[in-house]
């Protein structure tokens, strides 16, 4: 029996999709799904979703709900993390408070003010989770979905280097999926090669039977003026390679767009978009609670495409796969420092997990990734070394923040964010600093 522990299982939409994908793999055999969440209502929801899914798909599955984290982790082979420290309230702070200082964001979970403080809120939890895993399931794989992905992977590599960690994100898959639909080519007939950093990787090769598909995309873009009014299309036209995250995300990681009203209008950038998405996630959880309690199972709308079930399947059955993973740079890329959290192709199968070495990126792509990783490094070091000045340095290095407001404003904003998040941050980082 394969034992899989869901940490933050009350993230109901993710849990529902992941459980569905696992149960659609009959050769996995019997599964033991252990649900853990600190919220009793959400924990019961996760347990109910898993039990109803087992009956719906007629699969043998044992489901356990466990409030105590170490008990949930004991003897796990795989640990899936979807925790959001601070929940919706912290997300609102991450977006609304910087806006009062003039800093616009769209999602705020990866870079920028929101990403930096989301990382700082999450690191303490990751440290405790990793310590528990080292005690009760030291051979388990931690499959992390929690953002900020690059920061979390890099932090764990710095603090718990022996832990087996894969950061998983569906952005590359859905980028290729949607581009194939755009140019009218079945995705299953294509091959692609992508790497970089999470949410800012690059589609370096995209082919059908050896034919480059980028010229088809160029034709489609040239014929559609509305398509040209998107951030990542604009970036692709200027940089030559398509970025692998949405325009909403991509706009936050560069210094060119969000501080300019005309660019927001030209590229239809939805400022504060994640406020609505996060609130909708809360409403969906509230909707599911009575339905699941009444024994009603709603199949997820999205197709089975998440990587965590694929990792489990390949490592249990030996089935070969090639997916994208986020790992610490251990000689994989010549462009980035050792230990940096990067996103690369990875082979899975009977011989385990094998992240692939990658060649040097095109210089313009590497330059943007290095700016991204500079913010990641400073944020991780701030937590590891307990140095609040490095939080300010991370904000100073952040492309969108630095392009938008003055240094004095950045320091005032840092103090305001520290005060707002309070005890969610490690004590050494809660100091107010004079420049």
Query: Residues 155, 126: contact at Cβ < 8 Å?
Result: yes
Give the model's pLDDT for residue 252: 97
* Cβ contact 307:174 at 8 Å: no
Is 259 catalytic? The answer is: no
pTM: 0.96
With beta carbons less than 8 A apart as the criterion, state whether 2 and 316 touch.
yes
Ordered alpha helix ranges (H), 57-111: 69-73, 87-100
Q: Quick one: pLDDT at residue 297?
A: 87
Non-local (6+) Cβ contacts of 180 within 8 A are 186, 187, 190, 213
Nearest-10 Cα torsion for 278, 284, 290, 291: -160
Active-site hit among 170, 199, 249, 393: 170
The predicted pLDDT at position 433 comes to 85
pLDDT of residue 305: 80
Q: Report the pLDDT value the prediction gives residue 56, as an integer from 0 to 100.
A: 94
Helix ranges, 110-213 (H): 112-136, 149-159, 171-183
**Distance set, CA 281 to CA 37, 208, 368 (Å):** 16, 37, 31
H or E stretch at 144: strand 141-144
Which of 423, 398, 432 minimizes the C-alpha distance to 120?
423
Mean pLDDT by 10 residues, the chain (435 residues): 94 88 92 96 95 93 96 98 96 98 98 98 98 98 98 98 97 96 96 97 97 97 96 98 96 98 98 94 91 88 85 97 97 97 97 97 98 98 98 98 98 97 96 83
């Amino acid at each position: 029996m394969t034992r899989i522990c869901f940490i933050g299982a009350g993230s109901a939409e993710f849990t529902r999709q992941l459980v569905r994908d696992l149960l659609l793999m009959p050769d996995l055999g019997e599964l033991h799904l252990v649900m853990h969440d600190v919220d009793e209502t959400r924990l019961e929801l996760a347990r109910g979703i898993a039990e109803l899914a087992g009956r719906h798909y007629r699969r043998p599955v044992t489901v356990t709900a466990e409030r105590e984290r170490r008990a949930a982790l004991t003897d796990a082979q795989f640990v899936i993390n979807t925790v959001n420290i601070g929940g919706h309230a912290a997300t609102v702070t991450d977006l609304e408070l910087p806006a009062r200082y003039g800093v616009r964001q769209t999602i705020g979970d990866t870079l920028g003010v929101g990403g930096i403080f989301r990382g700082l809120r999450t690191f303490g939890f990751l440290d405790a989770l990793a310590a528990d895993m080292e005690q009760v399931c030291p051979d388990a794989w931690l499959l992390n979905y929690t953002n900020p992905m690059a920061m979390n992977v890099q932090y764990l590599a710095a603090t718990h280097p022996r832990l087996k960690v894969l950061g998983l994100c569906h952005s590359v898959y859905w980028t290729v999926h949607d581009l194939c639909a755009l140019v009218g080519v079945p995705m299953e007939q294509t091959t692609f090669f992508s790497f970089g950093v999470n949410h800012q990787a690059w589609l370096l090769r995209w082919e059908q039977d050896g034919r480059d598909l980028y010229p088809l995309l160029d034709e489609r873009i040239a014929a559609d003026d509305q398509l040209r009014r998107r951030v990542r299309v604009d970036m692709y036209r200027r940089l030559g390679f398509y970025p692998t995250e949405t325009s909403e995300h991509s706009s936050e990681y560069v210094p060119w767009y969000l501080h300019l009203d005309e660019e927001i209008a030209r590229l239809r950038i939805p400022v504060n978009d994640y406020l609505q998405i996060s609130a909708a996630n809360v409403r969906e959880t509230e909707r599911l609670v009575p339905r699941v309690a009444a024994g009603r199972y709603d199949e997820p709308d999205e197709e089975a495409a998440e990587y965590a079930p694929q990792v489990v399947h390949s490592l249990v059955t030996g089935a070969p796969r090639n997916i994208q993973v986020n790992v610490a740079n251990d000689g994989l890329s010549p462009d980035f420092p050792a230990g940096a959290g990067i996103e690369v192709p990875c082979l899975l199968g009977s011989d385990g997990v094998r992240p692939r070495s990658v060649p040097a990126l095109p210089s313009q792509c590497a330059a943007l990734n290095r700016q991204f990783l500079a913010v990641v490094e400073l944020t991780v070091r701030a937590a590891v070394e307990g140095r609040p000045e490095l939080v300010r340095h991370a904000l100073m290095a952040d492309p969108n923040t630095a392009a938008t407001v003055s240094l004095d404003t950045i320091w005032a904003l840092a103090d305001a964010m520290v005060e707002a998040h309070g005890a969610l941050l490690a004590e050494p980082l809660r100091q107010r600093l004079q420049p």
